[in-house]
Structure 1
């Protein structure tokens, strides 16, 4: 396995590396609990400088031929592919994702999503259309603040930056201070792709300082944020003072609805897999499994058997399927939710709040399956962000849909059953994305949520259009 990155971890402002004011934020490997790097603690002054650089570069970048912008995005995609192993090792080191998942998902999916933007542009995306005596024109929104999370530290960066650059926008990126090292590799890839100075800028730091300064900044035209619903509310509040555009990709509590006529073994196996990726630290994790009363006990038995195959341990080991939580805070949060589930009357079929045996160092939790869960329980309503699955029963299809929709979230979900019936149920569930019988992730399909899972979409044409304004010219 390649060593984690040794890329420079400075700010990047106007094409220059900036060391910052002196204060640093340490980055901790969650498997070893050792400090593996640090980034500058950014200030409002550094945000001002980065936004000024982005503003100065905007007119020139927006005026570039679309083919030039597309070519730059394609070179970024190719650069990510070339550094796949380094990126995977860095993600594993800074946030604990197992190396197999880091390689196959963290370091590989961004190649596809960025290439999808380039392909869309090269295929002749329609920037104008006619309507009566009007010419309708799509133009870049301007300077974009991209604020990204720790759980998919490159994937979420690329989802925003590739589309924004392709649209003709300039960007100031604030990655999560918990897992910021991957962004240093990305900054080098952007520079090597020939993106002009100031078009892409990087400012490290905390949400309350750098994030809020970006959201409030008068010269930022749009904020694209991925993170918790709580933090998304704050971004919206701050951004509202300047009435800028805000796109939010927030939390989820996704339901996996297993219908009476489903292949139960397949539905449970894929349902568990959909709950536990990235250690369960995924906003679209299938954390609620809804099973007919008549098949409940069988489903629980299958789930317990499936979980036994999820090896917990050293994330650099190719056989590990669940690594540590990203931090001690996140580990304690997950363990507290497990204890609360027990206190509210749910039963632990496998797992529990105690650390896995033999793993005294690192922020590990045991993959856990709850039975006897009812829709009003905390573990069935709140986003846990760990490897915790709740199995609920339902009487009929209408009740299954009602339980699935009884959530403040609406990000993702799944349905298993005969094709036509499963599709009909999928259409009744109020989420931004849903898989039927294990349908694969599509890097060019829109991704985003209903309700408090956010607004706006990422990936493909819909992701590109988040960063475009629409002007009508009457003639």
Structure 2
């Protein structure tokens, strides 16, 4: 068998394994399939390449440019994922496991590409929250902006997800405009290297945007500065060692950690045997024990059930575990593969022995189980093991020892408060799940346990068909957790991008804030439109381009006609005395939606032109009533422009309605799609 030479990609060059290279064995049969590692990598050259080549190349691009790049990268990986599947079998993963790791990682990239286009501007600066008025007359304002860090993101990933673990960090990093140096765990780095090659060979990434360390980082972390980020996934012990390094602390280098945790799943007190929730619970616990052979940071380690349901749950789980075929992951009949390595197998067995000191093993014997396939004797296989702890209040090891494999412990609780207390004994986890059809149970758990968990997953008969599962971190939501889980947050949509950006408070005049943010701020200079803006193409329009319309008097007849036409006969529009008794109105007033309709009639250009569609309005506020006999005028200003596709872009207009005294009556943002 040819032994693969797993290379590093450093400063634009592929580097062969060298001094310090380590042999990597197949999890299936123990045969040596690769070697990786090089203690002679030029760390300074790698960091310099990222900072002086990769960073500037990425920062030249807008958020939308980078989002489009991530999308085509994801599509490229998607068309070549079979090659990654073929390699991943040797990590012990089954085809179903590949869908979580490889397809899941690619899917995460697609989500970030989409969110980048929808939720971030086609610009170089991200505006965080609204403008703050810092002066009486609005000539001095504040705005928080986020801009890319000027350094490099060093990603240190775990062995269990060689593709997803990389891509879930890489997508938000690239979207932020920061280059990455990826360091996968050596045990499965051959899959990561293949994925990195696919991305680099595609030519879609700018130079310097991505580098790879197959092996150790050397002293790279000691050469970082305050513009750099370390994002780590792995054990709590390793995280502590890295984040407490004097250089990291002295330079306030950002350190994001996603660590091991003793995640729990709670069977609600209402979920008795025979209910849909009971069946869902058993099904998900079994899936979490056996998927990736239990090598998931989100796997269920502690199973909490009402005391009188302990035995039925054990019986139901044992029946499912008995049907789980363990063996060669390349075989279609196999349902659970191997641990990633012999070393990992040894660690899991040692941790299982610790759990066995305070809990009884009620399923699974590591010395006696059947394997599906031939030539697997030297593979890193263990059977699923279920333990039962009769006294979870005093058995401390079940709450602090994680066997990172197909192992879980069931324990009974007396009431819901007891269940919450046991759940929190893990001292911080990535996720806890609750199976209940009772909203009060869910609320009580959320109030009592949320502080110790990064995610609470509730499932029942109503959400079962569409729920993604206890162990599925989604790019839309935060992945991380407090305490033992590391205290960090990954993913979480655009929140995840912010880890690689600096939030800065900008203070100045409306014109200054408009110039920096690329978004018109009320009070900033208006540009007199050379023609009606609805006759001008997306590309021709300028930020700040404004028209002031003619005025229109609003009459009693207008109000009554609108009321009759729409059916909106609310008393404030129809009854003078009742309206005058209302503290908000001087008497009868015009409908707010009548004013919006009249405003459109004042500013709309009716003829065909570049405006293709009105897609909605945001941030509508009615600020003062308008009485019969008063007049209405409109100011329409181009606030922001965002390209959407090759045919049209979105124009955000700032619309202000005023009365005859130039007092604001209403304000909102109109959205239109305009041809280029």
After TM superposition, the score normalised by the length of structure 2 is 0.66
- 1:421 corresponds to which residue? 440
**Match of residue 159 from structure 1:** 168
Cα offset, 1:303, TM superposition: 1.1
Tell me what 1:11 maps to: 8
State the Cα distance separating 1:83 from its structure 2 match. 1.8
Please state which structure has a larger fraction of its residues in helix: 1
Q: What SS class does the counterpart of residue 155 from structure 2 fall into?
A: strand
The 10-residue stretch of structure 1 (243-252 or 22-31) with the greater mean CA deviation from structure 2: 22-31
Q: What is aligned with 2:345?
A: 331
- Residue 233 of structure 2 corresponds to 226
Alignment partner, residue 502 of structure 2: 469
Which of 191, 197, 216 aligns to 2:222? It is 216
Assess if the C-alpha contact under 8 Å between 2:289 and 2:299 holds in 1. yes
Mean CA deviation greater in 374-383 or 254-263: 374-383
Q: Give secondary structure in 1 for the equivalent of 2:293.
A: helix
**1:28-39 superposed matches below 5 A:** 28-39=25-36
SS at match of 1:179: helix
Contact 1:88 1:99 in 2 (8 A): yes
SS at match of 1:195: coil
Cα drift, residue 257 of structure 1? 0.5
Q: Which residue of 1 aligns with 2:478?
A: 446
Q: Distance in 2 between matches of 1:324 and 1:277?
A: 10
Instruction: Using the TM superposition, give the Cα deviation of residue 450 of structure 1 relative to its aligned residue in structure 2, in angstroms.
Output: 1.2
1:176-201 alpha-carbon deviations (Å, 9 max, x no partner): 11110122222223221521221111
Whole-Å Cα distance in 2 between the matches of residues 373 and 228 of structure 1?
A: 28
Structure label with greater radius of gyration: 2
Matched residue SS, 1:88: helix
More off after superposition, 356-365 vs 396-405: 356-365
TM superposition shift of 1:49: 1.8
Aligned residues: 464
The 2-side partners of 1:341 and 1:39 are apart by: 34
In the aligned structure 2, how far is the partner of 1:458 from the partner of 1:77?
19
Residue 98 (structure 1) aligned with residue 105 (structure 2): no
Return the TM-score normalized by structure 1: 0.92
- Whether the aligned pair in 2 keeps the contact of 1:96 and 1:323 (CA below 8 Å) is yes
Matches within 5 A, 1:42-441: 42-43=39-40, 45-57=41-53, 58-93=55-90, 95-102=91-98, 104-125=99-120, 127-129=126-128, 130-132=131-133, 133-141=141-149, 142-191=151-200, 192-206=202-216, 210=217, 213-219=219-225, 221-238=228-245, 239-262=248-271, 263-344=277-358, 346-354=359-367, 356-357=369-370, 360-375=377-392, 376-427=395-446, 428-429=448-449, 430-437=452-459, 439-440=467-468, 441=472
- For structure 2, the 5+ residue unaligned runs are 134-140, 272-276, 509-676
Moved more, 187-196 or 250-259: 187-196
Separation in structure 2 between the aligned mates of residue 309 and residue 464 of structure 1, nearest angstrom = 43
Distance in 2, matches of 1:221 and 1:253, equals 30
CA distance in structure 2 between the partners assigned to 1:373 and 1:181 by the alignment: 43
Structure 1 residues 426, 147: CA separation in 2 closer, same or farther (over 3 Å shift)? same
Given the superposition, is the C-alpha separation of residues 193 and 68 from structure 1 closer, same or farther in structure 2, using an over 3 Å criterion? Answer: farther
CA contact (8 A) 1:288 1:389 kept: yes
Distance in 2 between the 1:374 and 1:41 partners? Answer: 49
- 1:90 touches 1:182 (CA, 8 Å); kept in 2? yes
Q: Structure 1 residues 373 and 33, CA, compared in 2 at 3 Å: closer, same or farther?
A: farther
CA distance in 2, matches of 1:116, 1:445: 11
Measured against aligned partners, the alpha-carbon deviations of 1:337-364 in whole angstroms (never above 9, x if no partner) come to 22333333x2221103325345522111
1:68 & 1:189 partners in 2: Cα distance? Answer: 20
Distance 1:128 1:465 in 2: 11
**What does residue 489 of structure 2 align with?**
457
CA distance in structure 2 between the aligned counterparts of 1:243 and 1:214, rounded to whole angstroms: 16
Q: Quote the Cα distance in structure 2 between the aligned partners of 1:175 and 1:255.
A: 27
Distance 2:183 2:390 in 1: 38
Q: How much is the aligned-residue C-alpha RMSD, in angstroms?
A: 2.1
- Structure 1 residues 379 and 31, CA gap change in structure 2 (3 angstroms): farther
CA apart distance, 1:292 = 0.3
* Residues 12-59 of structure 1: CA deviation (Å, up to 9, x unaligned): 12332122544422221011101111223244x522221111011212
* 8 Å Cα contact 1:415/1:425 also seen in 2: no
1:457 shift after superposition: 2.0
DSSP 3-state at the match of 2:355: helix
Deviation per residue, 1:351-407 (Å, 9 max, x gap): 033253455221111111111343324234211101111000010000000000011
Note the C-alpha offset of 1:108. 0.5
Corresponding residue SS for 2:162:
coil
Equivalent residues of 2:78, 2:103 under 8 A apart:
yes
Which range moves more in the overlay, 237-246 or 400-409? 237-246
Moved over 6 A (4+): none
C-alpha contact 1:174 1:204 (8 A) present in aligned 2: yes
